[in-house]
């Protein structure tokens, strides 16, 4: 099928994967709703994955420079939302050391932004999202229920969130600081935004959606949903006769 819509790529772990869950009012689903008939929001979240496992996946997802020339549909914006699993404690399978985590994020950014990259895309808007703070009370209960030790801490989530901030600043990439946004509600209130101490509940997803929309409005207003036209006209605007030309997708006419 020819692709008549540009895309927003959501790349990350389970928090991104679950962002299309209607019961959780997923932030990805909310974005897809806001951009309906304008831009396709593509969920590429992989539950349990860290940046080490994410690297070979992202290499496969991004179109090469040659493929970008062959299709008019583009990735307008991409989010990288990783670190919740990398920040697991060192004994855990998912743990990635802090320096390696930063290196992996830099490599991902270079896939988009480096002229030497096979998938170089200088026009894409890139957003790094900090992992959420861990609510240890909730997460310990989950670990206890599963019969395992506490494998994450608030302090580790703090350090990995700071690493995302550092990489964003060093590389000149836009940051959506979810960690700080959630900490602003107070440690004692984190349970109101986190399902199990790590993953977002409905309130957390609504907050994340609002953060991303505000980030787009502030940094990339040209692709805010309010500033984009629908790819095809509303049915009331169609001519009564000879309407075929009006029903041609603009991207497919290029």
Q: Which of 3, 14, 21, 40 is catalytic?
A: 14
Residues written for the chain = 254
Q: List strand residue ranges (DSSP E) for the chain, in order.
A: 6-12, 39-45, 75-81, 125-129, 174-176
Q: Is 14 annotated in the active site?
A: yes
Phi, psi dihedrals of residue 78, rounded to the nearest 5°: -135, 135
Q: Is 21 annotated in the active site?
A: no
Q: Is 199 annotated in the active site?
A: yes
Q: Which of 21, 40, 159, 196 is catalytic?
A: 196
Query: Which residues, other chains included, contact 85 with Cβ-Cβ below 8 Å and sequence gap of 6+?
Result: 13, 14, 48, 49, 50, 94, 96
Q: Which of 19, 30, 119, 199 is catalytic?
A: 199
Phi, psi dihedrals of residue 95, rounded to the nearest 5°: -60, 135
Phi, psi dihedrals of residue 39, rounded to the nearest 5°: -145, 140
Half-sphere exposure of 76 (CA within 13 A, CB side): 19
**Considering only CA atoms, which of 126, 43, 119 is closest in space to residue 77?**
126
**Considering only CA atoms, which of 5, 63, 9 is closest in space to residue 38?**
5
Q: State the catalytic residues.
A: 14, 196, 199
């Amino acid at each position: 099928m020819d692709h008549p819509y540009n895309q927003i790529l959501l790349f990350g772990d389970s928090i991104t994967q679950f962002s299309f869950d209607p019961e959780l009012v997923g932030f990805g689903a909310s974005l897809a709703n806001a951009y309906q008939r304008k831009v396709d929001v593509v969920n590429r979240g992989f539950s349990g994955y860290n940046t080490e496992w994410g690297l070979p996946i992202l290499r496969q997802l991004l179109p090469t420079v040659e493929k970008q020339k062959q299709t008019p549909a583009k990735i307008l914006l991409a989010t990288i939302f990783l670190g919740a699993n990398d920040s697991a404690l060192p004994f855990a399978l998912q743990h990635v050391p802090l320096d390696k985590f930063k290196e992996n994020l830099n490599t991902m950014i270079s896939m988009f932004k480096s002229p030497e990259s096979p998938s170089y895309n200088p026009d894409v808007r890139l957003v790094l999202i900090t992992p959420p703070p861990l609510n240890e009370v909730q997460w310990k209960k989950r670990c206890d229920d599963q019969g395992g030790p506490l494998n994450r801490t608030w302090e580790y989530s703090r350090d990995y969130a700071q690493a995302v901030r550092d990489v964003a600043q060093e590389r000149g990439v836009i940051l959506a600081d979810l960690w700080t946004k959630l900490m602003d509600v107070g440690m004692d209130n984190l349970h109101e935004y986190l399902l199990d101490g790590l993953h977002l509940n409905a309130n957390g997803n609504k907050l994340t959606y609002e953060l991303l929309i505000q980030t787009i409005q502030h940094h990339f207003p040209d692709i805010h949903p309010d500033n984009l036209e629908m790819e095809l006209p509303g049915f009331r605007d169609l001519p009564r006769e000879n309407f075929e030309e009006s029903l041609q997708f603009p991207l497919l006419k290029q």
